[in-house]
A and B are shown apart, each in its own frame.
Chain A
Amino acid sequence: MHIWNIALSVVRAEEEAGAEESTFLGTPFHRPGLAPEELFSIGPIHVTNSMFTTLLVVLFVSLLAIWLTRRMQLIPSGKQNFLEVIVEGLLGLVESAAGHRVGRIILPLIGTLFVYIVAANWFALLPGVGTILYHGEHDVPLLRAPNSDYNMTFAMALLTIVIVQVAGFAAHGFGGHLKEYRNPFNIIDEFARLLSLSVRLFANVFAGEVLVGVMLALSFLALEYFLFFAFAVPAMFLALEVFFGAIQALVFALLSLIYISLAVGGHGEGHDVEHDASVAHADDQAAPLTQESAARS
């Protein structure tokens, strides 16, 4: 309940601030709201800027993948090497956690999670995202970081948890996996995973957006006094965001991988220890980052 209240207070503060102004400190930099901004609506369907950006990123990554895999050869060269390094790295990671057979099956999911989150996070750092305005009913940014839309991160987390359940049922049979939920804490666990996965990514990216926006606004205000700092400070924070964008992608993909591996491998007493150990380990990795993002926001 405590967390609930914090969330609500953040939302209320957001709403109060949003009512007054939609830019940072009176500068031209748009201050993103928690919710994605609506571009236009067709009947009951609201098309938002994050949907549009998502589509762009998906198209870009798809075309890149198709271009990279054209005329693949057994002896790789150039662009094929680049792709193979990525896929081989992910394959090694996935197979080391989930084993050869399951690893091969879930590689596309884990790999797509990683690639998409990295691409979306980095795309959001390009100039123009959040600053190019769409002149509709209101002036709203045309582009918004896809992962700063809770719908996006929740969709991915939901997909992961569904896959986790499917993997559990496939590995242990219907009854075998259902037995897991005789313990109500395991049900809570699944919901906690769903929320932690989605909120972690959303909060990090949203906080990053706000942080970079604030820094840009401050540097804009400082432009006439400290020219060097005006460019150096936002550049540093952008560089940090490049790093965090990749880290968050890795965390999301790694946690999904661990959840699936646990659902496939770990049932019963002996596995529970291992289960808890790996989850604790994974959360340890994620914890400093979430704390940091919490501190930032």
Chain B
Amino acid sequence: MGELTGALGIEWFALLWQLAAFLLLLFVLRKYAFGPVTRILDERANRIRSSIETAERVQREMQETEQRSRQLLEDSRRQGQQIVQQAQQAADRIQVTAQEQAKIQANEIVARSQVDIDRAKNDAMEDLRHQVADLAIAAASRVVRRELDPKTHVQLINDVLAETGRVPGADSPNGGRPVA
């Protein structure tokens, strides 16, 4: 054994020296090469991962935003259409209402005028009857030249009237009876 170690030049000091030199290199490389480089590799990997994640998120958000805006546009278009439609309906309704009201008012006016006309006609008929009666009485009294008792008088008038034909005023409430 001694012969072999001697021939190979194995010595404690040489062994320790080489070990120390190697450990020195190990220390230096660990501190200056492997440490920093693995750190920077990791950092770069993290950076790339986060960049990709951010890009994906941004893209996703963009898609969402686009979808939302499209939805919004669609909604607003639909709402606009709805509003226009409603307005149209309202206009139609208003028109119909106005027409109906106008018709009603016209009818009212017509009805009122009819009533006025009827009343005026009745009044006129009444007046006419009175005058005709007076005239008849006067004429009769002139013709007969005598006084008749009131009962006969009225009877006579009525007979005359009946003979002269019915007047439209006979439809009035007093039934065409002479006003005493």
A interface residues, Cβ below 8 angstroms from B: 4, 7-8, 11, 14-15, 33-36, 44-46, 48, 50-51, 54-55, 58, 61-62, 65-66, 68-69, 72, 74, 76, 83-84, 87-88, 91, 104, 107-109, 111-112, 115-116, 146, 149-152, 154-156, 158-159
Contact = CB atoms under 8 A, between A and B. Distances in A.
Contact of A112 (B7, B17, B22): B22
Given A72-B37, A74-B43, A107-B38, A112 B25 contact: yes
11 contacts: A7-B4, A11-B4, A33-B9, A35-B9, A58-B21, A62-B32, A69-B33, A87-B34, A108-B34, A111-B29, A151-B11
B33 A34 contact: no
Nearest 10 interchain pairs by C-beta: A35-B9, A108-B30, A155-B19, A11-B7, A151-B14, A87-B37, A62-B28, A65-B33, A155-B18, A150-B8
B24 interface: yes
Interface string B30-56: 101111111011011001000000000
Contacts of B8: 11, 34-35, 150
Contacts of B47: 74
Contact of A65 (B3, B19, B29): B29
A62 to B, nearest CB: 4
Contacts of A76: 40
Contacts, number: 136
Given A15-B7, A46-B14, A61-B29, A54 B21 contact: yes
Given A48-B14, A91-B38, A116 B3 contact: no
Main SS class of interface, A: helix
B36 A46 contact: no
Interface residues of B, number: 36
Contact of A154 (B15, B25, B33, B44): B15
A196 to B, nearest CB: 16
A116 B35 contact: no
Nearest to A64: B33
Contacts of B10: 150-151, 154
B17 A69 contact: no
A159 B24 CA distance: 13
Contact of A51 (B18, B26, B32): B18
